[in-house]
Structure 1
Amino acid sequence: MRFFITGTAGFIGFHLARRLLDEGHFVVGFDGMTPYYDVRLKEARHAILARSNGFQARIGMLEDMAALERAARDAEPEIIIHLAAQAGVRYSLENPRAYADSNLIGSFNVLEVARMLSPRHLLLASTSSAYGANEEMPFMEIHRTDHPITLYAATKKAMEVMSHSYAHLWTLPTTCFRFFTVYGPWGRPDMALFKFVDAIMKDLPIDIYGQGEMRRDFTYVDDLVEAIVRLVACIPVAGAPVSGEGVEDSLSPAAPWRLVNIAGGHTTELMEFVETIERCLGRTARRNMMPMQKGDVPATYADHRLLEHLTGFRPSTPVTEGVEKFVAWYRNERPGAGSNPEVEN
């Protein structure tokens, strides 16, 4: 099959594209190579993908409609997967305009491209942050999400709503999926796992927010990719909701549009996460206990039943196993690994 994927130089887009290429699919990747974090990491991801004859990289910003449209038309995609976004809850407090540009205008441009090209299935990445101030857990796709507490969450919720209108107006089969604290090799340097491992290896203190009492529904990246690949074939059909024991379909009553959580439905306390990292590294962290930051929520906890009913799959990689794999990558495979004696055992 032919795929057009935005964000292939990013953490999740890289893993997804590599999986699809390994399966023999053709992928055109579109990425802006923005300097939100070290561009060399993004370039290294694209270099790995470029080893496959089935991959073509196009560099451009989502806000550049002409460049996006050219790349998408050249791809002749059967499937469009929109992963590119300005990520990060906390950074949205520092640079809110980046979120409006990428997550609102950029996502609108992707929707316009999908309207023009009419792929079999449009899939878009959203976030558990969309549940915002909702205290009802586990989070179900049918829960109301009217109270986002960060601009990042608000822009992602807006993308979901915009995509629903396009699905209705243009009969465009669309699936939005919400990610829950994805981690693993090739992860972003601004994410907790990367920051903790990097600091501990350099004998620097780590900031632990919420006094370590926060809980997260961690999702290992390979599990996330498996779920996305399976959802590609689960094309929403208007008027045909699925049903099963305990399953409530999020299928729209007005469009071929569905929302799906991608998570295992198991929470881990932040301190347990830190202790797992310490065991994998064989080192003890210097802990700087901090209050909750603006925009953080005490817990995320997904209802996984719709995903499992649709795909027969549920993310299940234990945090211990996932952290071990990240640590091995950090020590041996990440760009620059071994170049700084401070981070060696």
Structure 2
Amino acid sequence: MYGLVRPGRSSLPKLTQAEPSLMFSNSSSLLFLYSAHFNNIWLGDLLISEVSEESGGSIWLSIKDLQQKIANCGASDSLITSDIPISVHLLCGLLKSKNSVIRWGFLFILERLLMRSKFLLDENETQRSTVGSASQDQKDTRLEKANAVIDIMCSALSLMAQINETDRLNILKMCDILFSQLCLKVLSTDEEAVPSSAERNNKFDTSHRNSYKESMDDADTRPRYNNLVARVPAALFYWPLIQLAGAATDNIALGVAVGSKGRGNIPGATSDIRATLLLLLIGKCTADTVAFQEVGGEEFFRELLDDTDSRVAYYSSAFLLKARKRMMTEEPEKYQNMLQKLVFKAQQSNNEKLLENPYLQMCGILQLSNEL
């Protein structure tokens, strides 16, 4: 009988009739992966040569030119796409594949391109800078470098959003690239000294102890945090937030009961990623009314109140509550009347959390708005 070890024979099992074809299938898959990997490396080097000094032009101009060509690659106008080099066409062509592994190659190449672009810009700055303390021009250059790399990233990732990528691993990789670029620290003009390690650790611990409300209130007084986020299209926050919704299974009732302070524990940190995307989107919508309308305005955030992830519902309610408070200046009588009814409802039901918890408070306000 095939596949069984007989007494006295070798401990290695004999091949079953199905195993040769299985081995051939695995070998073919491995060969495909190796081939795709080396092709991605080759294509990445080809793209990097477009922005290197060997191209004969300025690094700054080469990077900006490449960013524009990647953005134009998604256009349908043949006059626009005719000037795009073959390397960019090959890169964007990966997104047309039905194989998610090949589409992942697009992100692999993009990540290498971003790293190389940052290196070339740093190298270019080092060659031109003089020894001494950082001047205002050097601080401006840091921001310009970060902006240049962010623009390439946004143009490329926007193409992924256009094809409506649904593979979860590819979307998570996209978020990884997005966060890695937005985590760049760009010093503002009023930051003269670099904080020590102890100060950074203390600041990190303090930020985790602060409530979401405090973070929202302080956001307006810290515009430097919006320098890079402002350049990212709202779709790059909104689209993966929605695509990853099916992977979040946090219990909203339990989360609200404890104030939604718990952290997500979903495999792959999907809950944490969605919460981060939402906070970035809220920051952008707070500063940019066009972005707020682009995602659907208040209606979009209302729908997130029913999200299965408690933090997504909690953050959305806090943002909506802050927006509703602006009614106090626009329609003071209507706002005061609504608050009085909400207080009465809380007293009647003996539920103090109705006034303390942003989620419950926002749900109460929406219910009262429907009754008016």
Query: Above 0.5 in TM-score?
Result: no
Structure with the largest fraction of helix: 2
Give me the TM-score of the superposition, normalised by structure 1.
0.26
Give me the TM-score of the superposition, normalised by structure 2.
0.25
- Structure with greater Cα Rg: 2
Structure with the largest fraction of strand: 1
